[in-house]
């Protein structure tokens, strides 16, 4: 079944209205309120179609702008969801970050080697809600393997939602499909929404 556009409906409406006015009973003409109501209805249909077209155009423009903004972060360092530790230039400090959904009375970071064995545990004490840097003494850590970390947070014994964040760099932007994502040098493909900070 062919789709009827608002313009087609409006054209048919006007033809019917002209025919109705031409053939109405002179002794019983159409009520002005009825005529006004019919005109208002067809204007509403036309207005809704124009609004939908405008919104569709704005959505396309917004998507294009988001892609352009994302391309500007290629080559930049970012803080994103992930649990791989980074190191300072002298290799003495291991770095990461965390994000807390609510205040915590105790935050603990565990460092694991490539085999998943815990090699260090660090208490960060109480922390406010939000994003926090992690800085660990890495002088005793093995330098020949990639280390990961996990975060646990509690508030007076009750679990607090937390996310481990890692430092990474953006290699390219993936614009295929409807979702915008970034290809990272260490942590693969991540949605743009998973980026917490651009450094």
Q: Mean pLDDT across the stretch 179-190?
A: 87
Q: Mean pLDDT across the stretch 101-106?
A: 97
Count structural domains, the chain. 2
Q: What is the domain extent for residue 97?
A: 77-198
The winner for highest mean pLDDT among 20-34, 36-50, 182-196 is 182-196
Q: Are residues 147 and 174 in the same domain?
A: yes
Q: Are residues 96 and 190 in the same domain?
A: yes
Output the domain CATH number for residue 151.
2.60.40.4070
Q: Mean pLDDT across the stretch 152-169?
A: 95
pLDDT level of residue 1 (50, 70, 90 thresholds): very low
Q: Are residues 65 and 163 in the same domain?
A: no
Residue 72 clears pLDDT 60, i.e. is over it: yes
Over residues 112-149, the pLDDT tens digits come to 999 999 999 999 999 999 999 999 999 999 988 999 99
Q: Are residues 121 and 181 in the same domain?
A: yes
Cα-Cα-Cα-Cα torsion 83, 87, 92, 96, nearest 10 degrees, comes to -40
């Amino acid at each position: 079944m062919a789709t009827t556009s608002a313009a087609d409906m409006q054209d048919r409406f006007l033809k019917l209205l002209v025919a109705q006015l031409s053939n109405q009973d002179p002794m019983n003409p159409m009520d002005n309120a009825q005529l006004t109501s019919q005109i208002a209805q067809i204007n509403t249909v036309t207005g809704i179609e124009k609004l939908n077209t405008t919104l569709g155009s704005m959505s396309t423009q917004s998507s294009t702008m988001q892609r352009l903004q994302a391309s500007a972060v290629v080559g930049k360092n970012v803080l994103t969801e992930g649990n791989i530790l980074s190191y300072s230039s002298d290799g003495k400090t291991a770095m990461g970050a965390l994000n807390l959904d609510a205040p915590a009375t105790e935050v603990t970071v565990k460092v694991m080697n490539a085999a998943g064995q815990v090699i260090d545990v660090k208490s960060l004490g109480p922390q406010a809600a939000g994003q926090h840097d992690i800085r660990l003494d890495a002088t005793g850590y093995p330098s020949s393997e990639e280390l990961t970390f996990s975060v646990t947070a509690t508030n007076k014994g009750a679990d607090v939602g937390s996310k481990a964040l890692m430092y990474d760099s953006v290699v390219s932007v993936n614009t295929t499909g409807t979702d915008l994502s970034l290809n990272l040098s260490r942590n693969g493909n991540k949605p743009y929404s998973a980026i917490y900070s651009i450094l």
